Every structure is written in C-alpha cells, then in structure tokens.
Structure 1
C-alpha cells in the first residue's frame, strides 16, 4: 500500500492549495488572478527544470508542441478558476470545479460511444441537481443582500448565480483537457508509457512557465501594475502546494488508479474543512446540503 501515502499527500496538498488560492484572490484587485498565474507558472517551471537535472531526464522540447492542446485547456481552466474565487466562497467553488468528471463521462458517452453504468448516471444526476440548486441559493442570497444593502458596496454575493459560471467553466475546460489527455496518450501509444508521462508532465510545467512570463510582461510592463514579492506570499504557497500535489499524484495514480482516483477527486472536502477553519466561511444549511450531494456524486462517479 505504498500508494496510500503519496495519494494522501496529493489530496491534502491540493486542498491546501485551494485555501491559499482563495486567500490570494483579492476582490478589490481585478488582476489578482493573473498574479496567481505568474506564481503558479514560475513554481511549475522551476520544478520542471529541477526534475530534468536531478533525475537526468532527456527532455524532448518538441513535446511542448505535441502536448500543447492538452496544456492549453488545463492552464486556461485553472486561470478561470482563480478569477472565480474573487466572487465565490471556496466552499462553493471547489466542489463545483471538481464536478468536471461528470462532464468527461457525458463527453465519452456522446462522442466515443461508451456506455454508462447506472451508478454513473445516478452520480451525474446528483452533481447536476447540486450545481443547479447552488445557483438558486446563490441568487437568493444575492437578492437578499441587495435588499439589505442598497449601496451594494463590497457585496459578498454581488454576482449571485452568475458567479457560478467561473467554476462551471473551469469544470468544462478541465474535462476537455482530460479528454485531450486520453487522445494524446492514445496517439503516441508506441512510446514507452513512463517516458511519455514524464515528457508530457514536463511540457505541461514549461507551458505554465511561458504563460507566467507572458502574464508578467502584460501585468508589469504593459499595465504598469505593482508586483511586489512580499504581497505574493499566499499565491506563492498556493503554487507550491499545487506543484506538490501534482508531483505525488503522478506516483499514486500510476500504481492504484481505481482507488486513488475517487480518493483524490474528493480533495474539495479538505478545501471546505480548511475554509471553515482558516477563512471562517459560513454557508447556509441548504448550501452545505447540496455541496454534500455534489461530493457524493463525484465520489460515486470516480469509483465507477
């Protein structure tokens, strides 16, 4: 059971990364998500370089182009997720983002002709109902807050149900990335799987680094925005935990995918617990009920 330790580390690391993503999402700073992108890309890139030199990997740069369609959807989904955290509680955003597995199942059913077991259909229904009900509750809270605060200054639920578009878009883009990932490994099936995984992972991290460089040039050089290192502590910690989770996830999933997948896919539980402890987030009973519904759906879907 050596896989259990890296699986646990990945689960806790990604849940902790969510905590710091939220802490780094400044509602008053419309560029806060780009600052997070810069930190994540920098840490990812440094990790990729370290892997090459420490493990003596013979990296082929052409894989950056080959893996680019996959990297594009993964990177874009994460950037959208960072932007959404300015408008939503982490306890709401995280489980909705993790519903991407339901979208992948639907896509494989529609485009690849694969069948779905009854438990998969049930899980998708649970997730769909949960997301819709979250939108309803968010909108009700927004309307209630608007009545109570006519000036609409620094409103917690300013965008209501519309804010859910961010984690939903994350889930959609992430699911396309997963779909493209499967296509990539099928297209290059003649290459040794371990070698292909390493080339793909390093390419993904280097793509992140390039995106971080472009984001930095846009933010600091073009828009003349401040980017002081002392203000990026939370974002930097989020990037470190994100990379840590990615590192241990690769080892865990390759050894016992059928158990590891549902375990890690529910890391939003860690996010919710941490948000209650450190961010003092308090949701309504209805919100927690549908969030539990979504998490159950995610776990059932992953088990199958």
Structure 2
C-alpha cells in the first residue's frame, strides 16, 4: 500500500503547489504567513477529527517528541510560500522537490544503505540542474535591470529569488531524513501520533502567525483566502498519505514523492500560463529526469 499512498501524496501536493502560487503574490508581504494560518487551520481541524473518529489517545508529549521533524517541515514550507512571490512555480517546484536527493544521501551516510549507479547519477543530475538554474536566474536578473519595468511585477526576479527554493530543498530534505529516522529506521513514534503531532504543531504555528498579523494590524479574512484554503486542503490530504508511505519504505518513497514537481510544472503551464526560456525549460527537465532516476532506482531496488 505504500506505493498507492506515495502516489496520492504526489498528486495532492502537486495540486497544492498550484494554489500556493496563486495565493502568494508579490504585492502582499504577509501572504506566506496567511498561508501558514490557513494550512494550520485545516490541518488542525483534520487532526482533531481524525483523532476523535479513530479514538486515538494523543498525549502532548508527542508534540515535543516529534518537534524536530515538525519544525523543519514547517520552516521549509514557510520559506517556500515566501519564495513563490518572486519566482515561477515551474522553476521553484523542481528545485524544492529535489529534497529527496538530500534525504537519500543522508540515509546512505548514516545508515546501512548503498547508493546504486542510477541513484548516484540522479543526484549528480539534480545538483547540476539546480546550479544551472541559479546561474540562469542571475543572468536574467541582470537583463531585467536593463529592460523596462513594464513586465508583470509578480514575475520580476533577482538572483536572491532562487535562494528560497534551494533553502526549502535543504531544510525539507533534513526534515524527511529525520522523519525516516523517527518512523522507519528507529521507529521512535507511530505513524498516527506523528501525523497528529505535525498537524497540531502546524495549528499552533498558524495561531502564532494570526496573532502576529493582528499585532501588525494586517487584515485577514478566512473567507477571502480561497486559493490558500484549497492549497491547505490538498496539503493536508497529501500529508495524511505521506506519513503512511514514508513509515514503510522511506528510502524509496522519499524520491518518488519528490516527483510531484512534474504535476506542479504541468499545472503551472496549463493554468498559470507560465513561460520560461528554452534554457530554463531544458534545465527544469534535467532536474525532473534526475528525480525520476532516483524514483526508478529505488523502485528497482525495492
């Protein structure tokens, strides 16, 4: 069943990316915090519902036990939300989802696993692709300094814009590595308790973000945040299936789930009408090939 769960996670998170992008605009400097609030709210509601329906005995100690994992996931996501204000989803999603390579490397280093030729090739391709994208973004930023400012402000970027998805990639990769330790390698916490701990921690972060917005006297209306709400629903659905897939075959599921960037890129072209240069398209495809190789290698190994 882990494969079905991983596939459902892939589709859900690919759709979530689309609505994250639609909801986070450059004109709203607090859009990433509003997204945290919406995701925290939906996850909190799901957590209480899931706990009640399944009659799960949940102790607050699990929040502390799972906090290192929850903290890295939530931090990476908040950084990702902020980055979407400045960079196309077609670029950010493949970079962010390369975190599976980070996870595989860490699991290989610290546990008794080996990396095959396909895995090694995939990791190298992803690293090269991310480096090329960073260079292309830097060159494009220089060109935009010369061009007029008539372009859509949502798509004005600088070299710093690509730092957001790269940071997401690293921190999320560390989070998934920690998750593999907690759920698979050492079994420090059950899947259900890990899911609830993460969702309730996200709820707490959402409450803190809401209080901060009120302190800053920033208006926030849940009913007006439709895109963020839909993204939060897809995110929660993906998270639900993710926990159960990562707990069984972490080293295989991690890079497979990371391929949801393919769904994100397709949706960004169809719905958002994003357009990249030929070099960017080629490099994005290169990164996705690397991700696919990781998934293929782990699938064959499994």
TM over 0.5: yes
Distance in 1 (CA, whole Å) between partners of 2:149 and 2:57 is 61
**Count of residues paired in the alignment:** 297
**Structure 2 residues without counterparts, runs of 5 or longer:** none
2:176 aligned residue: 178
Spell out the pairing of 1:28-39 with structure 2 (5 A cutoff).
Answer: 28-39=27-38
261 and 65 in structure 1: CA distance in 2 versus 1, 3 angstrom threshold: closer
For structure 1, the 5+ residue unaligned runs are: none
Once the two structures are superposed, the pairs formed by residues 74-223 of structure 1 within 5 Å of their partners are: 74-111=73-110, 115-149=114-148, 154=153, 156-159=155-158, 161-185=159-183, 189=187, 196-220=190-214, 222-223=215-216
Kept in 1, the 8 Å contact 2:184–2:248? The answer is: no
64 and 285 in structure 1: CA distance in 2 versus 1, 3 angstrom threshold: same
**Conservation of the 8 A alpha-carbon contact between 2:136 and 2:280:** yes
Partner SS state of residue 166, structure 1 = helix
Please, which moves more after superposition, 134-143 or 32-41? Answer: 134-143
TM normalised by structure 1 equals 0.89
Matched, 1:226 2:224: no
Q: Secondary structure at the match of 2:153?
A: coil
Distance in 2 (alpha carbons) for counterparts of 1:114 and 1:186: 13
TM, length-normalised to structure 2? 0.89
- Contact 2:184–2:250 (CA<8 Å) still a contact in 1? no
Q: Is the 8 A contact 1:145 1:155 kept in 2?
A: no
Change (3 A) 1:12 1:145: same
Deviation at 1:11, TM superposition (A): 2.1
Output one character per residue of 1:119-158: Cα deviation in whole Å (capped at 9) or x when no partner. 2221111001100111111122222222112699837233
- Over residues 50-107 of structure 1, what are the superposed CA-to-partner deviations in whole Å (9 max), with x where a residue is unaligned? 0011111111221111111111101101111001001110000000001112222333
Separation (CA, whole Å) in 1 of partners of 2:272 and 2:137? 19
RMSD (Å) for aligned C-alpha atoms: 2.5
Mapped pair 1:238 → 2:231: yes
Question: What residue is the counterpart of 1:59 in the other structure?
Answer: 58
Query: In the aligned structure 2, how far is the partner of 1:201 from the partner of 1:83?
Result: 24
Q: Check the 8 A contact 1:146/1:152 in 2, yes or no.
A: no
2:274 to 274, 281, 288: 281
Query: SS in structure 2 opposite 1:69?
Result: helix
Deviation at 1:265, TM superposition (A): 2.2
Q: Residue 284 of structure 1: CA displacement?
A: 1.2
**2:49 corresponds to which residue?**
50
Tell me the CA shift for residue 293 of structure 1. Answer: 0.9
8 Å contact from structure 2 (residues 100, 255) kept in 1: no
CA contact (8 A) 1:41 1:211 kept: yes
Name the stretch that deviates more: 128-137 or 258-267.
258-267
Deviation of the 1:217 alpha carbon = 0.2
> Alpha-carbon deviation of 1:5?
5.4
